[in-house]
Amino acid sequence: MDLRILATGGTFDKRYDPITGVLGFGETHLHEIVARARVAGPL
């Protein structure tokens, strides 16, 4: 069985620095989410 994930981003992947006013993108949390869901397959 194939598992396909379409990651479109979201507010949890963005980091806003209120001091500089810069919006940046951190690392994705997708691997942690898949691990917590106990998916045992290649990513």
3-state secondary structure 1-43: CCCCCCCCCCHHHEEEECCCCEEEECCCCHHHHHHHCCCCCCC
Please tell me the predicted confidence (pLDDT) of residue 5. Answer: 75
Q: In the predicted model, is pLDDT for residue 38 greater than 90? A: no
Instruction: Specify the residue for token string 């919006």.
Output: 23
Contact 27, 15 (CB under 8 A): no
Residue 25: closest CA among 10, 14, 11: 14
Please tell me the predicted confidence (pLDDT) of residue 11. Answer: 60
Residue 14 and residue 39: Cα distance in Å, rounded?
A: 25
Please tell me the predicted confidence (pLDDT) of residue 20. Answer: 94
Domain boundaries, the chain: 1-43
pLDDT in tens, 1-28: 677 777 776 666 678 889 999 988 777 7
Please tell me the predicted confidence (pLDDT) of residue 10. Answer: 63
Please tell me the predicted confidence (pLDDT) of residue 9. Answer: 62
